[in-house]
Amino acid sequence: QVQLQESGPGLVKPSQTLSLTCTVSGDSGTTNYVYWSWIRQPPGKGLEWMGAVTNNGYTYYSPSLTARTSISRDTILNQFTLQLSSVTPEDTAVYYCARGLRVFDYWGQGTQVTVSS
């Protein structure tokens, strides 16, 4: 059974960088083209795919976020991380990690991140 767990600060100040980690269990992380994604849901809005990383380190980003987003993979720790720079209150959302690129078979429970001074 694959499990994902997000972790990171729940409050970030405007203009700072949001950093979240997703810890994976139940997946060996050795298959190259397995995709690990970050997805968010702002209050009252739908899900937004932010980007993904493969086990062998290839990254893919949403065009609307590519300038501010960096996703990396650590196959030794079996984690992947999200960094979103220059955050504004519009980046307030529940952030999810998930396995997949367009279809997701395993999700983390989500973590609330609020951008506020």
pLDDT one-digit tens code per residue, 80-98? 999 999 999 999 999 999 9
pLDDT at position 67: 96
Closest to 51 in 3D by CA, of 67, 34, 69, 68: 69
Contact 111, 5 (CB under 8 A): no
Q: What is the DSSP letter of 46?
A: -
On the question of pLDDT at 39 being above 80, the answer is yes
On the question of pLDDT at 29 being above 80, the answer is no
Contact 111, 10 (CB under 8 A): yes
Predicted confidence band of residue 16 (pLDDT cuts 50, 70, 90): very high
